[in-house]
Structure 1
Amino acid sequence: MSQFSDKDVILSVMEYNFHDRTSENNFNIAFGIDKNFLFGCGVSIASILLSNKSINFDFHVFTDHFSEDDQKRFSALAEQYKTCIKVYLIDCNKLKSLPSTKNWTYATYFRFVIADYFYGKLDKLLYLDADIACKGSIQELVDYSFAEHEIAAVVAERDIEWWTDRSLTLTTPELVSGYFNAGFLLININEWQKNDISVKAIEMLRIPEWVAKITHLDQDVLNVLLVGKVNFIDGKYNTRFSINYELKDKVINPVNDETVFIHYVGPTKPWHEWANYPVSQSFIHAKEHSPWCNVALLQPANSNQYRYCAKHKFKQKKFLQGVLNYIKYYKAKAIK
């Protein structure tokens, strides 16, 4: 049973298909984003294509906003790399009543729409958050075969201490064996559907007792619903790093030569002008080899961003810029 039918949610589909040849064996990757992540999504796609020139892809972008500029750039990206990008404009009314936070909007639930949409169309799909840059081969994912009853291949979040905390908070003891980050999901579409995951997830998100427990919205819910039905794979496929960790005195950067996907978690993203650190270079390199090459990195636009920008400028020894951004931060805060 599908929670979301095509007619219900998909308003229109735009296809930019520049494949030299069509193939049913193309590897499918999907993103679910709002307008704030379109820039990141385009560059993320470019990074995957740059690092995987021998693989044929079909990319699927589910969003509720797509301007004329976005259309031109995504079309140019597909043409530049001779690939196919399909953009699905979504009606979000069904999702806006679900829980959201300052950092996670209703767009986080697009992954449920995506999994439902592809039932009967695909067997396997890679879902990625748009704040991910690729720096290695994903051939192992292309060749990956699911075990019997396996719903998804995932990457663990943090360590056993965190898993234990989640298992207690979410009253799901089995989570002590592993809790995953939902920014990377290699989905077995048929098993997902057979287990009614999207239906059950939306139901849980409407139950006040569950909403009171969850702190990571759909990620918590998915961990509860998929417990015992996922395969934990190598962390190189979802190596998480917050650029704000650079503000600490000692930074342990987990990104190395084995890393395939860098997941830039946290409020500072590599498309922010103040994220000027070596860890951002995979994103910057892909940006330079994409239709976004001449698009300026984003300046701070609200009090929170002015504050982080100021802190990073001080860390980077750009003191005058740091002071100016602190002044903008206090002014923006005073207006609130």
Structure 2
Amino acid sequence: MNNLITNKYLIKEYTNSHDAALSCLDVIYGSDENYQFGAGVSAVSALINNPNTHFRFHYFLDKVDSNFLEKLKVISKQFLAEFYIYELDNESLKTLPASDVWSSAMYFRLIALDYLSADYDFALYLDADVMCNGVIDLTADLIADKICGVVADDIGVRTKSGTRLHTPELTETYFNSGVMFVNLKKWHERQVTEHCFERLSEKDAKQRYKYPDQDVLNLILKDDLVLLNQKFNAVYTLKNELSDSTHQKYQHVITPETVLVHYTGVSKPWHTWANYPASKPFYQALAQSPWSTVDLKPATKFVERKKEYKHLLKQGAYLSGGLSGIRYLLEKLNGKRK
């Protein structure tokens, strides 16, 4: 699978070396074009919350946008961070299970973790919708001789997943794959990437795995992982805001101790309809990034339109919400669901 990488870029917009006393952390993102904005702001969120850490960011992308590269140069110069960009030929991955919500970009992490094992020992993988809210105090000794450190999902998800995948042990260990602290050498030794693609290539894979990459990772790694503190993957969906008129209940999930906030679901903090108090970690990073509120994304997909109009109406934006709702209804009637 390493032959999928067609181009590499290095961005390092400073000449002085970083302070040798600083710890160094390699952070990996896998993203298609739709999520690059989020992945860029996510990196800034890590930088502003961890001034005593030197970061090497690794982006695995299907399309490398020149504007995105220019913004990474600004970040590199401002924060003395390194960026490594790897462009992928994504065609062969498109034969694997995917959906309107999860594109084949979900498999980029599998390519990245195996590819980087040749040069690095440990790395933190983050989905583009994960924002940093504190100090990432993850060290190699936390995972010792295991393949990776992960955060167990909530009990409801774990129970359903254990039943769905006919693996009772997952009731205790089923994790969300959006945050993984990985021992890269052991990942490669145990051929995790190869085993994942073997399972994902089976004839009934699309029917068997509801969350394709996540399900197979859970099955393969269930005996070789360490469960980390919940603060490293606080899962929050902005859909909750539709039923919370106070917009304060998020504080039960995103607390002062939370280090990494994972915004799951269709609505992301970078969407034009998602400016809630719960999105604060994103907006704090956005304010110190080369991006601005002008770059916030409107709905472009059917599944996004379905959420956009509901949030706009909830916020009292009746004209724009109504227009969005009409577009959604027309798309639904015309069978346009892409």
Alpha-carbon distance in structure 2 between the residues aligned to 1:52 and 1:90 = 30
- Counting matched residue pairs gives 328
Match of residue 125, structure 1, among 102, 123, 126: 123
Residue by residue, what CA displacement relative to the aligned partner does 1:267-321 show, whole Å, maximum 9, x if unpaired?
0011111002101111011111011126331122233333312111221122232
TM-score, normalised by the number of residues in structure 2:
0.92
Match of 2:305 in 1: 306
Counterpart amino acid of 1:158?
A: D
Alpha-carbon distance in structure 2 between the residues aligned to 1:61 and 1:144 = 25
Alpha-carbon distance in structure 1 between the residues aligned to 2:102 and 2:302 = 17
Secondary structure of the corresponding residue to residue 117 of structure 2 = coil
CA contact (8 A) 2:56 2:81 kept: yes
Alpha-carbon distance in structure 2 between the residues aligned to 1:302 and 1:294 = 20
Whether 1:32 aligns to 2:30 is yes
CA contact (8 A) 2:30 2:127 kept: yes
CA contact (8 A) 1:152 1:188 kept: yes
Alpha-carbon distance in structure 2 between the residues aligned to 1:277 and 1:264 = 12
Match of residue 224, structure 2, among 221, 226, 229: 229
Match of 1:323 in 2: 322
Counterpart amino acid of 2:207?
A: A
Counterpart amino acid of 1:304?
A: V
Per the alignment, do residues 25 and 122 of structure 1 end up closer, same or farther by CA in structure 2, a change over 3 Å counting? farther
Counterpart amino acid of 2:143?
A: F
- Unaligned runs of at least 5 residues, structure 2: none
Mapping of residues 278-297 of structure 1, within 5 Å: 278-293=277-292, 295-297=294-296
Alpha-carbon distance in structure 1 between the residues aligned to 2:314 and 2:206 = 38
Mapping of residues 1-336 of structure 1, within 5 Å: 4-5=1-2, 8-18=3-13, 20-21=16-17, 26-138=24-136, 140-142=137-139, 144-148=141-145, 150-159=146-155, 161-249=156-244, 252-253=249-250, 254-293=253-292, 295-335=294-334, 336=336
Per the alignment, do residues 299 and 212 of structure 1 end up closer, same or farther by CA in structure 2, a change over 3 Å counting? closer
RMSD: 1.8
Per the alignment, do residues 119 and 158 of structure 1 end up closer, same or farther by CA in structure 2, a change over 3 Å counting? same
Counterpart amino acid of 2:172?
A: S
Alpha-carbon distance in structure 2 between the residues aligned to 1:270 and 1:71 = 22
Per the alignment, do residues 214 and 35 of structure 1 end up closer, same or farther by CA in structure 2, a change over 3 Å counting? same
1:210 offset after TM fit, Å? 4.2
TM-score, normalised by the number of residues in structure 1:
0.92
Residue by residue, what CA displacement relative to the aligned partner does 1:25-83 show, whole Å, maximum 9, x if unpaired?
62100000000011001100000000001101100000011122112111111112111
1:168 offset after TM fit, Å? 2.3
Alpha-carbon distance in structure 1 between the residues aligned to 2:291 and 2:244 = 33
1:144 offset after TM fit, Å? 4.2
Q: Percent identity?
A: 33
CA contact (8 A) 2:143 2:225 kept: no
Per the alignment, do residues 296 and 210 of structure 1 end up closer, same or farther by CA in structure 2, a change over 3 Å counting? closer
Residue by residue, what CA displacement relative to the aligned partner does 1:250-282 show, whole Å, maximum 9, x if unpaired?
774211101111111000011111002101111
1:173 offset after TM fit, Å? 2.5
Of 296-305 and 110-119, more deviation after overlay is shown by: 296-305
1:143 offset after TM fit, Å? 5.7
Secondary structure of the corresponding residue to residue 30 of structure 1 = strand
